[in-house]
Amino acid sequence: MRFRTRSDSMTPQKSMSAMIDVVFLLLIFFMLTLQIVEPEGVHAVDAKPAGTRVIPDCAIDIKVRLVASEDGQLADVRLGSRSLGSGSDAIRQLGREIQTLAKDAKGLVDDGLPVKIEADASLNFEYTLRALGACQKRRQPDGTLELLETRVQLVSPQTGAE
């Protein structure tokens, strides 16, 4: 006598509906929580509590002055007492000058060339940020970024305090 095996008669089917429900829920969750954002970069600022000297006394004292126009635009970029002009070209020029100074100061300062940026309080933040970047980094011919050996500090132009 031949017994009928179970597989002969029917194949057991697992219900997929529970898994599909969960997968759809996950899909909807990830779709709704998706934020399309552009990559963000950062510039570091050397800042310690008031009263603490960040940059020790040093023979080299680089001061960058950012002067604002009445509407908060960049009117002048000064490196020491020398004017570099206004606008994006001046900030690029500032970057080249700081790069040269940082190279020259190698060995003279322990941990990077100290640079103080004095920006007018009314200056739009975008110019301060670009000047900050120009004093810290430079773009190499192959497109990569190189960190300059500098320590950049934001100071208030009125008092010179941090």
Partner 1 sequence: MAKRQKSSGGGDTEVDMTPMIDVVFQLLAFFMVITNFEQTQADERVKLPRDVLAKPPEVQVEHKLVLNVGYIRNMQGERENPEPFLFNFGGEDMIVPLQSADALNRESRIYAQKNTLPADVTIKIRADSEVPTGIIQEMIKICQDAGFEKFAMSAMSGPEE
Asked if 156 is part of the footprint of partner 1 (rule: CB under 8 A), the reply reads: yes
Closest CA to 117 of 70, 151, 89, 144: 151
Asked if 89 is part of the footprint of partner 1 (rule: CB under 8 A), the reply reads: no
Report the interhelical angle of 87-104 vs 125-134 (nearest 10°): 30
- Annotate each residue in 28-57 with x if it binds partner 1 (CB under 8 A) or - if it does not, as one string: --xx-xxx-xxxxxxxxx-xxxx-------
In angstroms, give the least distance from the CB of 118 to partner 1.
10
Asked if 10 is part of the footprint of partner 1 (rule: CB under 8 A), the reply reads: no
- Which residue in this structure is represented by tokens 């020491």? 80
In angstroms, give the least distance from the CB of 84 to partner 1.
17
In angstroms, give the least distance from the CB of 133 to partner 1.
4
Strand partners, 152: 115
Cα–Cα distance between 19 and 6 in angstroms, integer?
A: 26
Nearer CB in complex with partner 1: 3/40: 40
For residue 64, the tally of other CB atoms under 10 A from its CB is 24
In angstroms, give the least distance from the CB of 162 to partner 1.
8
- Which residue in this structure is represented by tokens 């009125």? 158
In angstroms, give the least distance from the CB of 4 to partner 1.
21
**Residue numbers 95-134 binding partner 1 by CB under 8 A:** 95, 119-130, 132-134
User: 115 φ, ψ to 5°?
Assistant: -125, 125
Measuring CA to CA, how many Å separate 118 from each of 42, 78, 127?
A: 20, 10, 12
- Interface residues with partner 1 (CB under 8 A) are 16, 20, 23-24, 26-27, 30-31, 33-35, 37-45, 47-50, 66, 68, 72, 88, 95, 119-130, 132-134, 136-139, 145, 154, 156, 162
